[in-house]
Chains A and B, each alone.
Chain A
Amino acid sequence: MPEDDDERRSGRMDRVVRDLLAGKRLKIGPGDARDRDSIRAAAALAGAREPFPRMSQAFRRRLAGRLAPAGEPGLLSRRSALVAGLAAAVGGVTGAGVFRVLDMLKPPLANPHLGSPTVFPAVKWYDAGPLSAFKQDVPVRFQAGAVGSYLVRKGDTVVGLSSVCTHLPCELNWMSSAHQLNCPCHNVTFDTDGFQITGPEAYPLPPLPRLQVRLTPTGRVQVGAT
């Protein structure tokens, strides 16, 4: 009877769905092959709950370690070296008066949180409009290629912050009334320098990663990303 068969298979399917909704690995086998299309549809629906998934920092580090040839520093180290190299290169250009670097690798002076922010490499540069369009200390959401960001004007400089929470990979929202960035997933908040204000009581969170930002001679803000 197809109805009986559906009842049996619905139990199995619901276990797959429950695992997916709990963020667990897919536990399926050849016995599920008859429902393969439905299972893949369930996986796609579960995947859509996170519209902008990003690799976690821990996975990034593991991956970089796996990719590094034996005896060489990991790719993260090389990436940092590349970022530093780019910073130096752009700094050199600054001397020539072509670009002014606004926010580079400078760590904050007082940092009560977990270390200095990491900095995205600037593989490509994206135009973010004129500096005059930015209000002081009011973050503006900007998509720099694959990297979501908030750009915050601080005097004549602009700070580029990742728009993804360092707790769970959720997109932050700007709450103008409270003057803070808020993570809707677990109500974590960050200030406009990317440092945690409130959040999980048990442990502090790393600051939001930074994007490199520069200003052209004609006053346009450019954001480095991938």
Chain B
Amino acid sequence: MPEQGPHRPGELIEFPAADVPAAQIALDELDLIYAFLYARVGNRADAEDLTQQVAMKAIPRLRAEAAAASIRAYLFATARTALAGFWARKFGLPEDELDDDLAAPAAAASPWPETGEAAERVNRILGALPANYRRVLELRFLRGYSLKEVAAETGNTVGGIKVMQLRALRAAAKVDPDA
């Protein structure tokens, strides 16, 4: 490839060659899909199952000459559908009652695993909560405290913290991290 002047560090300077097969590009994109799913289901085993589901469904359907951008968009669309199906099966509900992941814009879904935006989204959620709820969730999830340790740290009973954790998660679920 002829060099075209100076580049900014980190700048993408060469797109995939036209003869790189779509399936190969898709396989390389699956790390992003995995990260997207992991950030939503919160555990490796379910994220792996869903990633495999996306790969098995999407990759055989790709056109060999598909562009990288459209492959990524297709994979994310498939991932959002798989995720909606996952929650619907778990809760025994129709998918349209759990369609917020389906409605998520593709542009917002694709870049965040590379930039740590998952952590930023969580910070926005926690930042919108009352201080006592935020404290419980920070200690429990981000610092890995047990209920007993949270209770000791905050001067509450274990039972009280357990209920506060439930209420804090309810409040967290109402925050729109993209607002």
Q: Let me know if A226 and B31 touch, CB within 8 A.
A: yes
Instruction: Give the nearest-CB partner of A225 in chain B.
Output: B28
Q: Let me know if A7 and B34 touch, CB within 8 A.
A: no
Q: Let me know if B116 and A52 touch, CB within 8 A.
A: yes
Q: Let me know if B40 and A43 touch, CB within 8 A.
A: yes
A29 to B159 alpha-carbon distance, docked (Å): 24
A226's contact among B8, B28, B167, by CB below 8 Å, is which?
B28
Scan B30-46; emit 1 where CB is below 8 A from any A CB, else 0: 11101100111111111
Query: A32-B91, A51-B119, A222-B13 in contact; A41/B30 too (CB < 8 A)?
Result: no
A-B contact count (CB 8 A): 224
Scan A49-77; emit 1 where CB is below 8 A from any B CB, else 0: 11111111001001110110000000100
Q: Let me know if B90 and A26 touch, CB within 8 A.
A: yes
Instruction: Give the nearest-CB partner of B145 in chain A.
Output: A21
A106 sits at the interface (CB 8 A): no
Q: Which residues of B contact A11 (CB under 8 A)?
A: 162
Most buried by A among B2, B27, B30, B32: B27
- B86-143 contacts to A (CB < 8 Å): 87, 90-93, 98, 113-114, 116, 118-119, 121-122, 125, 137, 140-142
A6's contact among B12, B116, B163, by CB below 8 Å, is which?
B163
B20's contact among A36, A62, A123, by CB below 8 Å, is which?
A123
Interface size class of A (residues with CB under 8 A): 35 or more
Q: Which residues of B contact A98 (CB under 8 A)?
A: 1-2
Q: Which residues of A contact B7 (CB under 8 A)?
A: 127, 220
Instruction: Give the nearest-CB partner of B44 in chain A.
Output: A23
Q: Which residues of A contact B174 (CB under 8 A)?
A: 37
Q: Let me know if A44 and B42 touch, CB within 8 A.
A: yes
Scan B1-36; emit 1 where CB is below 8 A from any A CB, else 0: 111001111111111100010011101111110110
Most buried by B among A21, A45, A144, A218: A45
A45's contact among B12, B44, B90, B141, by CB below 8 Å, is which?
B141
Q: Which residues of B contact A75 (CB under 8 A)?
A: 23-24, 27
Instruction: Give the nearest-CB partner of B159 in chain A.
Output: A7
Q: Let me know if B35 and A52 touch, CB within 8 A.
A: yes
Q: Let me know if B42 and A66 touch, CB within 8 A.
A: no
Scan A103-147; emit 1 where CB is below 8 A from any B CB, else 0: 000000000000000000101111111000000000000111110
Q: Let me know if A6 and B10 touch, CB within 8 A.
A: no
Q: Let me know if A38 and B31 touch, CB within 8 A.
A: no
Q: Which residues of B contact A97 (CB under 8 A)?
A: none
Q: Which residues of B contact A43 (CB under 8 A)?
A: 40-43
Instruction: Give the nearest-CB partner of B162 in chain A.
Output: A10
Q: Which residues of B contact A46 (CB under 8 A)?
A: 42-43, 141
B169 sits at the interface (CB 8 A): yes
Q: Which residues of B contact A55 (CB under 8 A)?
A: 30-31, 34, 48, 51
Q: Let me know if B11 and A49 touch, CB within 8 A.
A: no
A184 sits at the interface (CB 8 A): no
Scan A182-226; emit 1 where CB is below 8 A from any B CB, else 0: 000000000000000000000000000000000011101010001
Other than the known A36-B98, A55-B30, A56-B44, what 8 A-B pairs have Cβ atoms closer than 8 Å? A10-B162, A11-B162, A17-B141, A46-B141, A55-B51, A121-B28, A125-B13, A127-B10
